Amino acid sequence: MAEKQKKVPVLPWMRSPVDVSLLEQCPLGLVPCLDPRLMVALQNMGFSSLFPVQMAVWQETIGPGAFERDLCVNSPTGSGKTLAYALPIVQALSARAVKCLRALVVLPTRDLALQVKEVFSAIAPAVGLSVGLAVGQSSIADEISELIKRPRLEAGICYDPEDFSPGLQSSVDILVATPGRLIDHINSTKGFTLEHLCYLVVDETDRLLREAYQSWLPTVLQLTRYDEGFFPRAHTFLPSSLGSLKTIRRSGVERGFKGKPYPRLVKMVLSATLTQDPSKLSQLDLHHPLFLTTGKRRYQLPEKLESFKLICETKLKPLYLVALLQKLEGEKCIVFTSSVESTHRLCTLLNFFDDLPFKIKEYSGLQRQSVRSKTLKGFREGEIQVLVSSDAMTRGMDVEGVKNVINYDMPVYIKTYIHRAGRTARAGQAGRCFTLLRKDEDKHFKKLLQKADNNSCPVYAVPPSSVESMHSIYTSALEKLKETVEMEASQNRKVGFKSSREGKSSEHTLQRNSS
């Protein structure tokens, strides 16, 4: 008798979630307590109302909930999670004019962090707040100059060293960061402190908890924790204009009044595929968490997404892809592969097909950040119609007007399928997801979709004639690809050999200088 599959235990607070889908979109004019300045900023961004997940978070933060509990949000891709946390945090911080780092948003990738920073930058200046970025896109020295400044001390005032440490202070109220660069600043940037942090957002939580990233989470929690017997790092200077808020204890914890502890660190964790693993969630040290989700299913696809499959002959798979792209007639598409190497080779191959009526570029972790940013800009603006990507694009990336997602390689896990498919059908728009399959993959793919309660994935027919007509072009393209791969391999060997010789030469020089 087969052993029954063990069920993963579910935390009590996750058993009775708040169903976000029961809420309606709310016009901006009816959002309770919304700062008029933020309403104008949202309108300038093209918003006329808030989506259900945004209203749900608003009610639990600015509304009756008033940040009394930590929030865990599990909502489909494209449902508006970024603004769901950005808007209430900006409004809450604007209530007090304190120039110090009070909100931290951590994301797993640079590209996603850049995107989230844009959202904050579109609304925060409207209420006098500034936003910083720490992702390693520029040198750490450039980042430090943006994040830290030396305050101007008022002449004739004697500062008591017991209360103040005149020197460096934060230039930003909100910081969007990747874990590695965040740890760099914590360890080496003078004046960088998390001692006044009010809000911590962990976006794409399941990925950030799955990968250690230099133990960033326990480090952040340790530096923001306040216990009777625990003293964080050295205290930080705040300008005298803060009135009663200028009282700084030697522990470095900001207090509004004597005897009243600084408000607890509020945490907001979000994902389209939020983990239910108690051992992982326990790392977050959540305070009476409230679970917000959409419906009763754990894995959910965008409401207006259509899924299709193409059954292909393995050797002719690129031809089926080209035939599909031609049939889509230049609509904006993202083609996903299983690795950065596959991305590079597939994009190179496709560009050897002559006279295709659309522009194709690759987007992967093999490229420099500047190259990726330029490619993404061209894709957003419509100069590039087809983006061939590794899973670097899957999580959270929002590109307006993506009509189609194509899985060139079938995803192994339902989480991957959900994050890939979620690049289209965003913000209530329609979209399609195509998956190219070998015949022997069809059964596994069906089981995969059932995990998201998706039992409708019809076959998308590509005319055999359109595939057959490209055989000669395909043969020529394959030959060119082979030559290109061999040339690149040769160049890589030369670069590796040169680096090795330079390394040995430097080592010999170092030995001579030491003797």
- Listed residue (105, 94, 100) closest to 192, CA to CA: 100
Phi-psi region of 98 (alpha: psi -120 to 50; beta: other; left: phi over 0): beta
Res 356 pLDDT > 70: yes
Res 282 pLDDT > 90: yes
As beta bridge partners, residue 307 has 433
- The one-letter amino acid code at 449 reads L
Distance, CA of 507 to CA of 294 (rounded, Å): 59
Q: How confident is the model at residue 393 (pLDDT cuts 50, 70, 90)?
A: low
* Residues 274/215, Cβ–Cβ less than 8 Å: no
Distance, CA of 448 to CA of 415 (rounded, Å): 10
Q: How confident is the model at residue 263 (pLDDT cuts 50, 70, 90)?
A: low
Q: What pLDDT was estimated at residue 312?
A: 94
Q: How confident is the model at residue 414 (pLDDT cuts 50, 70, 90)?
A: very high
For residue 166, give Cα distances in angstroms to 30, 145, 193, 489. 45, 18, 14, 56
**For residues 281-300, average pLDDT:** 89
Q: What ranges do the domains of the chain cover?
A: 12-150+168-226+262-293, 305-484
Res 45 pLDDT > 70: yes
Q: What pLDDT was estimated at residue 220?
A: 96
- Listed residue (115, 81, 125, 105) closest to 274, CA to CA: 81
Q: What is the DSSP letter of 440?
A: G
Cα torsion 128, 133, 137, 141 to 10°: value is 90
Q: How far apart are the first and last CA of the chain?
A: 72
Strands 199-203 and 103-106, how do they pair?
A: parallel
Distance, CA of 20 to CA of 111 (rounded, Å): 28
Tell me which CATH code domain 305-484 carries.
3.40.50.300
The HSE-up count of residue 297 (CA atoms within 13 Å, CB side) is 16
Structure tokens at 332: 């904006």
Digit-coded pLDDT (tens) for 314-335: 899 999 999 999 999 989 999 9
Q: What pLDDT was estimated at residue 214?
A: 80
Which carries the bigger pLDDT value, residue 392 or residue 132? 132
For residue 482, give Cα distances in angstroms to 260, 349, 475. 70, 9, 11
**For residues 360-372, average pLDDT:** 89
Res 234 pLDDT > 70: no
Tally Cβ neighbours within 10 Å of residue 453. 14
Res 511 pLDDT > 60: no
Structure tokens at 140: 């750490």
**For residues 128-153, average pLDDT:** 88
Res 508 pLDDT > 50: no
| Topology, domain 12-150+168-226+262-293 | Rossmann fold (3.40.50)
Res 363 pLDDT > 50: yes
- Listed residue (417, 416, 404) closest to 334, CA to CA: 404
**For residues 278-285, average pLDDT:** 93
* Residues 256/245, Cβ–Cβ less than 8 Å: yes
The number of angstroms, rounded, from the C-alpha of 479 to the middle of its chain's C-alpha atoms is 38
Alpha helices in 10-78 (DSSP H): 36-44, 52-61
Digit-coded pLDDT (tens) for 430-479: 999 999 999 999 999 999 999 888 888 999 999 889 999 999 999 999 99
Residue that the structure tokens 């979000």 belong to: 270
As beta bridge partners, residue 199 has 103, 266
For residue 219, give Cα distances in angstroms to 1, 262, 355. 47, 19, 54
Distance, CA of 67 to CA of 61 (rounded, Å): 4
* Residues 405/333, Cβ–Cβ less than 8 Å: yes
* Residues 197/253, Cβ–Cβ less than 8 Å: no
Please tell me if the domain spanning 12-150+168-226+262-293 has the same topology as the one spanning 305-484. yes
Q: How confident is the model at residue 255 (pLDDT cuts 50, 70, 90)?
A: very low
* Residues 336/451, Cβ–Cβ less than 8 Å: no
Q: What pLDDT was estimated at residue 249?
A: 28
Q: What pLDDT was estimated at residue 154?
A: 58
Mean pLDDT of the chain: 84
* Residues 169/237, Cβ–Cβ less than 8 Å: yes
Query: Is the sign of the CA dihedral 37, 42, 46, 52 positive or negative?
Result: negative
Q: How confident is the model at residue 253 (pLDDT cuts 50, 70, 90)?
A: very low
User: How open is the CA angle 306-310-312, to the nearest 5 degrees?
Assistant: 165
Q: What pLDDT was estimated at residue 165?
A: 45
Structure tokens at 137: 């896109």
For residue 398, give Cα distances in angstroms to 73, 218, 294, 421, 431. 18, 30, 20, 12, 13
**For residues 19-41, average pLDDT:** 95
Query: Maximum CA pair distance of the chain?
Result: 86
The HSE-up count of residue 64 (CA atoms within 13 Å, CB side) is 1
Res 289 pLDDT > 70: yes
Dump the DSSP string for 296-318: S-SS---TTEEEEEEE--GGGHH
pTM: 0.78
> How many percent of the chain have pLDDT more than 70?
83
**For residues 22-33, average pLDDT:** 95
Digit-coded pLDDT (tens) for 158-212: 545 444 445 688 999 999 999 999 999 999 999 999 999 999 999 999 989 988 7
Q: How confident is the model at residue 2 (pLDDT cuts 50, 70, 90)?
A: very low
* Residues 274/74, Cβ–Cβ less than 8 Å: yes
Q: What pLDDT was estimated at residue 211?
A: 80
User: How open is the CA angle 21-305-290, to the nearest 5 degrees?
Assistant: 30
Distance, CA of 68 to CA of 455 (rounded, Å): 40
